[in-house]
Copies of this chain bind each other. A is one copy, B any other.
Amino acid sequence: MAARSILNSQYLFVTFTKRAYSSKADKNVAFLGLGNMGGYMAANLAKKGFTVRGYDPSKEALAAAAKNGITGASSIAAAVEGADVVVSILPSNKVVLDAYLGKDGVIAHAPKGTLLIDSSTVDPNVPKQIHPVATEKSVGFIDAPVSGGVMGAQNATLAFMAGGRKEDFDRSVPLLKAMGAKQFFCGEIGAGQVAKLCNNMLMGITGMATAECMNMGIKMGLDPQVLLDVLNNSSARSWSTEVYCPVPGLIPTAPSSRNYDGGFKNELMVKDLELASGMALGIRSPIPLGAVATQLYRIVQSRGYGQKDFSFIFQLLKDEADKNNP
Contacts and interface: CB of A to CB of B under 8 A. Distances in A.
Each complex incorporates copies of this chain amounting to: 2
A184 B230 contact: yes
A231 B187 contact: no
A200 B227 CA distance: 12
Interface in A168-195: 182, 184-188, 191, 194-195
* Interface residue SS majority, chain A: helix
A205 B205 contact: yes
Shortest 3 CB-CB contacts between residues of A and residues of B: A238-B238, A284-B324, A202-B236
Given A199-B235, A212-B290, 16 more contacts: A147-B234, A184-B233, A185-B226, A186-B227, A187-B223, A194-B220, A198-B230, A199-B236, A201-B216, A202-B231, A216-B276, A220-B279, A237-B239, A238-B240, A283-B324, A288-B292
B208 A289 contact: yes
Contacts of A283: 216, 219-220, 321, 324-325
A76 B237 CA distance: 37
A280 interface: yes
Interface of A: 124, 147-149, 159, 161, 182, 184-188, 191, 194-195, 198-203, 205-206, 208-210, 212-217, 219-223, 226-227, 229-231, 233-241, 243-244, 276, 279-280, 283-290, 292-293, 296, 317, 320-321, 324-325
